[in-house]
Structure formats: structure tokens, C-alpha cells
Amino acid sequence: MIKDNELIELENLLLQRDIEKAKIHFWSFCQLLEPQFYKDSRPHLRTLCDTLEAFHYNQLKNSDGNIVSKLMIRMPPQFGKSRTLVNFTKWSLGRNNEERIITASRSDSLAADFARYTRDGISEVKNIKSQIVFSDIFPNTKIKQGDGSVQKWALEGQHFNYLGVGVSGGVTGKGATLRIIDDIVKDAETALNDNALNKIWVWLSGTFSSRNSAEEGEVKEIFCATLWGENDPQAILEKTELGEWYILSMPIYDASKDKMLCSDFMNKKQFLKLKHRMEIDSRTKMIFNANYLCEALSDDETKVFPVSSLKRYKDFPENVEYFTIAFADTADQGDNYFAMPIARVYGSRVYVFDAIHDQDNLTIQEGQVIDKIKTNGIKEFVIETNSFGAYFKRRISEIMPDLYIFGQPAKTNKMGRILANAGLIKYHFYFPENPNPVLQKGMNQMCKLMKTSTKEDDFADAMSGLSAYLEKFYNCFIES
């Protein structure tokens, strides 16, 4: 019969074995500190931990079998990825006190949380004697006294070990051996805002990515984020640094095996209920696919006018009869655009060749419109007469009394008008292969318009107004 002291000695030996194992293997480290979360029945967490361990030991290989130092992680929300990354930073610093880590989050508050969890995890003290804490595994890794601020701190014997920053935050004077990017795009709305994405990308590719301190080779990187679309930073890096990244993608459901990623976090019944609710329209479907299936919808599924849907022409046909027409949609609010596509109509084909697309005041736009009418020989001018449009029609009529001007009121919902005319525009309208800068600007706005959005829809609305006018008064789109 085993005596109490012998049992205690055996338990201590087993614990010491587990501690030595935790120093070497990341999964063992996580299980020893948080056994109730890192269970063997949650294999996705084991896969994540094993991948991070291989990354740490420079054993991670891409599809070509080459060692890579960059890792992308895509997992559903609330499945333990950020928690595991915090543990990974602790483990990495425990194994190497000279590691220099800079983490980026979408806001300073989230960056502070990530930094705090890491710092406090290293400094954690026992609540009860049997509790295992970080210092049991790495007793020589301690936060430097007087240098334990929330977002920037060092370990004993070091000058700098950790910095957490939000997007646009400064990292001057700090270099990293490891950079961790954790969900820097806030949500779908941000992901669909090109200006917001560009701001994030400029900061990420410039300020953040320039801070290296690796003595040999490139700094190591982890990018843990939702893949929203074709233009988010993660997608750009995957394209431009092809073969340099190992991509760990774990969607919530594997249809080929009819298997959930982990029913502890979401079972199939919950998944199907959520899927049914979120696939109602293209925007919520995009959110669902990005968050839970780890895939981005293509422009064809989310945009009203994907770039690929616009027909192009190199030269306008010669020796054909046509008339030139313009449609103006005035800006009703301060952030709206004055949009005026100009086109030559030949049979059932509409060749858009010029435009006005700006946010100038109506006084300046009067001069621009008159100049375009004279320069392009516009014979018919259609103006949407809602709000400022009626006033603008009167002003142009006074200045150019011989020009035929038609006032077209908009009686239906704007997005409804655009969607109703989208098919005609895609089939009958042609755009130049090399448009002038102003027309290109209008086309760019038009091609960004989401099916469920009303932001920056001015040029698309003007195009739909022109399409509706030609269909109603000229029967242009009835093929002979």
C-alpha cells in the first residue's frame, strides 16, 4: 500500500514531468495552465497549438515543402484563437527572454487587453497551493520592476520585450523579432469601406511592418484575422507574398465530412439556425461566410456592378448615327456627389465616354456642366428633379434656353431603382478601356456599391436614371 508521503512524492514527480514537458511543448503548456479549456476533446485547439509550436521551432512548411516564418490563422469567433495567442506570447517569452514582440489590434483598448493578459499571466500568483501558474514552469521569467505598464513592458534583464498597439499607433524606436496581428479590421462595415481599408493597409505595411530587430532573416509574423474580402490586408498579403505564408484555416463546419469543428463551442443545430438567418441577403451572408466558413465572398456575389460585369470598348464605331445625352443627379447632402454620366447612344448600345463626378458647389458645377454640354455636343440633358435638381434645371434652362432639358423625378427607392436597371446597364452600356480620370472615379464608385448598401451610390443612381429614361422614351433596349 502506497503511503501518503510516497503518494505526495509521486505526484511531485509527475508534476515535474509535466512542467518539463510544458517548457518544450506548447499544447502541454496550455493544458497545464488551463486544463478546463484545453481539453483533448477539442482537437481544433490541439491543431492550433501544434501549428504555433512548429512555427516557434521554425518547422512550419508551406504547400511546397519550404520552411516559412509567416503564419495566417482563420477560425470562427469565440473558438479560442486570441486566448491561445496570449498563451503563445507567454510561452515564447518564457522560452526566450530576449524575444521582442509587437502586437497589433484594431484599437488601443484591445491592444491594451492583449498586453495586460500576457503581462498578468506571467506575473500570476497562486490562489491555492495546488494551482499551477506561469512561474512554476518558467521561474526565471519575470516582469521588470518599474517597467510593467499595460501596453509596453520588459522582462528582468531586458530593455524591451512587449508592445501592444492599435491601428495607427506609433511604434517608433521599437523593433520586433515577432509581430502578431490580431483582427485589425473591426467588422464588415469597415471591410467594405475602401478608405478605411487603405488607412489600415498603409499603417500595417509601413509603420508597423518596418519595426524589425531580428538579427538574421526576416522578422516572424502571425496574422490572426477574419478574411473579409478581396481587398482586406490579409488577402493582399496572401496574394503579394505568395508562398511565404502558412495558412491555417479551420471553418466551423466541414460539409464533406458533415462534421462540426467543435460542438463544445457551437453544435450543428445552432450552426444551421445561424446559417439560415444570416444567408438572407448578400451582406449578412458575407459576414457569415467570413466569420464561420473562413472564406470571403467574391465581388460578383456582393457588388451590384462588379468590375468584371462592365462591358468595355476601345473605339467608338465610325460612320454610325448617334445622339449624345447626359443625365445629372445633383448632390442633396454634403457628403453626396454630383454625378453626370455622358454617353453616345447608337441603336441599343450606350457608349459612356465622359462624366462629371465631384463634390463642388452648384455654382462651380453650373460652369462645368455648360462646358461639357458645349464640348461634347450634348443634345439632350436629363436632370433628376428631386430637391436641388429642380432648381438646377431652372438655372441651366435660363443659361441655355435652346437646349432640350427634361426633368425626371425619382419616385422609387434609390437602391430599388439601381437594382431594377442594373441588368440593362450591364447588357447595353459600354465603358472605355481607358477612361479619363473623372469617369474612372465615377466607375470606381459604381463598382464598389454593395447590393445592400446606400453609401456612395451617386454615380450608380445617375446611370440607372439614364437607363430608365432611354428605356421609357426611346425603347432603346428592344433589339431589332
Residue 120 forms part of a structural domain:
yes
Cα 100 to Cα 219: distance, rounded to the nearest angstrom: 10
Are 23 and 153 in the same domain? yes
Reported as a single tens digit per residue, the pLDDT across 356-369 is 999 877 777 889 99
Residue 258 forms part of a structural domain:
no
Q: Is 172 exposed, middle or buried (0-12, 13-18, 19+ CB in 10 A)?
A: exposed
Residue 480 forms part of a structural domain:
no
pTM of the model: 0.73
Residue 256 forms part of a structural domain:
no
Are 454 and 354 in the same domain? yes
Are 150 and 209 in the same domain? yes
pLDDT at 128: 85
Across 251-278, average pLDDT? 93
Residue 12 has pLDDT above 80, yes or no: no
Are 281 and 353 in the same domain? no
Phi-psi region of 400 (alpha: psi -120 to 50; beta: other; left: phi over 0): beta
pLDDT at 55: 96
Cα 341 to Cα 356: distance, rounded to the nearest angstrom: 7
Residue 26 forms part of a structural domain:
yes
CATH number at residue 331: 3.30.420.240
Residue 8 has pLDDT above 70, yes or no: no
Are 235 and 273 in the same domain? no
Are 245 and 294 in the same domain? no
Reported as a single tens digit per residue, the pLDDT across 373-406 is 999 999 999 999 987 888 899 999 999 999 999 9
Across 24-36, average pLDDT? 95
pLDDT at 371: 94
Reported as a single tens digit per residue, the pLDDT across 421-445 is 999 999 999 999 999 999 999 999 9
Q: In the chain, how long is the greatest CA-to-CA distance?
A: 113
Across 101-114, average pLDDT? 89
Reported as a single tens digit per residue, the pLDDT across 185-216 is 888 777 777 778 888 888 888 777 765 554 54
Give the residue numbers spanning the domain of 407.
Answer: 307-474
Reported as a single tens digit per residue, the pLDDT across 60-79 is 998 888 999 999 999 999 99
CB 310 within 8 A of CB 443: yes
Residue 418 forms part of a structural domain:
yes
CB 90 within 8 A of CB 97: no
pLDDT at 480: 41
Are 70 and 118 in the same domain? yes
Number of domains the chain contains: 3
Reported as a single tens digit per residue, the pLDDT across 160-179 is 899 988 887 776 656 789 99
Are 244 and 345 in the same domain? no
Are 146 and 179 in the same domain? yes
Write down the residue that cell numbers 532573416 correspond to.
217
Are 65 and 132 in the same domain? yes
Residue 255 forms part of a structural domain:
no
CB 111 within 8 A of CB 89: no
Are 229 and 334 in the same domain? no
pLDDT > 90: percent of the chain: 55
Residue 222 forms part of a structural domain:
yes
pLDDT at 216: 47
Across 104-119, average pLDDT? 90
Are 295 and 368 in the same domain? no
CATH number at residue 151: 3.40.50
